[in-house]
Chain A
Amino acid sequence: MKIAIPLDENKTDVCPTFGRSPFFYFEEDGKEEIAVNPACNEQGGAGPKSAQFLADMQTDVLLTVRCGQNAADVLKLADIKIYKTQGKTAKENAEAFHQNKLEILTHFHAGFQGIQ
């Protein structure tokens, strides 16, 4: 199972935004990987483009603080489940997920259309 988490510039903490996070943290069977988010500098549609990136990376689960409706629609089609993060770092969230401590994210905000 491959987990993805939006990652802050310090490459340790969870990034509070999904579509414009500078990096993504991936974890699969104990193997960690950090990748640049190709959508972070988009003028608009960063959410769907990030979701496309996660789908291309064959992600199964996304752990995030929040997520927009457009991105959520893409993630759903790609069968990627979305859980809400708790606490600060990406690593502790990956562990919390394995211990079934995280809850499914059910609220999605409207798209920013490039306006924040």
Chain B
Amino acid sequence: MKIALLSGKGGAGKTFLAVNLAYCARRHEQSAAYIDCDVEEPNGHLFFPFPVKERETVFTLIPSFNKEKCTSCRACADFCKFNALVFIKKTPMLLAEMCHACGGCSLVCPEKAITEAKRPIGMIETRQYENLSCYSGILNIGEASGIKIIQSLLQKDGGDFSVIDCPPGCACSVMESIEDADLCILIAEPTAFGLHNLNMVYELTAIMKKKTAVIINKEQSTPYEPLTNFCRQHNLPILAKIPFDRELGQTLSEGTAAYGTNKKFSSLTDNIYAQIKAMS
């Protein structure tokens, strides 16, 4: 089973919950995985203080030109919807960061002067703790798109229960991360801003026809009614309301997963896990 944790903003608690759900799942399943798709700022591995077992470079494809065959007809540049190809002094020039690796230029070239070459854009680090795998996607600094890394991450063996930690927001990288998810869990803060962000990601999961549930994080003593009303209106089950808790915050800042150490939080996580299983 694959579950994805999303939120419209950073700092809502995606990583914290994803890590703890993974630690919880490994107790109940043969194998489990935590997959960090927040490739621009992967930090879930901080909760997995184990040596890196494997480091694998991720490549994207870029066109490579055979200058002897090229007749400067510009069919490739005319085709490129991203304007990643220009012709200056009859010579093709590639703006590598703008290339989306669609391969169209090599298909339309009448002289077959274009082949596809590999360009490294980042890597995947694998850590292993008994039956729990941790995969972190890392996009090289300065790169524009991490989609290729997310695609490679999702091909990894996630075992019986994998938890996908999505990038914040609802852009292409999030769409890619939830593509194969069986369930999307939206993490929301009980504020007007939190509700606005929830609405954004909910729109995405609704368009993609994903089974969706909500977890409210940092719940205050007085609940924020508009948020619960929103969930009721859209038939979104609320799996848990995690209280705003200084002790939990401290555990998080120390880079420790609270599951297994904080008793109250462990039973809360077990309960979330049981509800997820019941929904599948």
Selected contact of A49 from candidates B86, B97, B144, CB within 8 Å? B86
Within 8 A of A (CB), among B64-93: 77, 80-84, 86-89, 93
| Interface: A44 (CB within 8 A) | yes
Selected contact of A74 from candidates B82, B88, B97, B144, CB within 8 Å? B88
Closest to B86 in A: A52
Closest to B142 in A: A110
Query: Number of B interface residues, CB 8 Å?
Result: 15
Chain A binding site: helix, strand, loop or mixed by DSSP? Answer: helix
Tell me whether A45 and B89 are in contact in the complex, defined as CB-CB below 8 angstroms, given that A39-B83, A113-B144 are known contacts: no
Tell me which residues across on chain A come within 8 A of B93, comparing CB atoms.
Answer: 74, 77
Closest to A19 in B: B83
Selected contact of B83 from candidates A44, A55, A78, CB within 8 Å? A44
In whole Å, how far is B98's beta carbon from the nearest beta carbon of chain A? Answer: 5
Q: Mask for A56-88, Cβ within 8 A of B = 1, else 0?
A: 000000000000001001100110000000000
In whole Å, how far is A23's beta carbon from the nearest beta carbon of chain B? Answer: 19
12 A-B residue contacts at CB 8 Å?
A39-B83, A45-B82, A45-B83, A48-B83, A48-B98, A49-B83, A52-B88, A70-B98, A77-B88, A78-B89, A111-B98, A113-B144
A42 pairs with B89, CB closer than 8 A: no
In whole Å, how far is B72's beta carbon from the nearest beta carbon of chain A? Answer: 12
A44 pairs with B89, CB closer than 8 A: no
In whole Å, how far is A48's beta carbon from the nearest beta carbon of chain B? Answer: 5
State the CA gap A98–B83 with chains docked (Å): 33
A45 pairs with B88, CB closer than 8 A: no
In whole Å, how far is A34's beta carbon from the nearest beta carbon of chain B? Answer: 23
Tell me which residues across on chain B come within 8 A of A5, comparing CB atoms.
Answer: none
Within 8 A of B (CB), among A24-60: 39, 42-46, 48-49, 51-52, 55
A78 pairs with B88, CB closer than 8 A: yes
State the CA gap A49–B88 with chains docked (Å): 11
Which of B83, B93, B144 has the most chain A CB within a 10 Å cutoff? B83
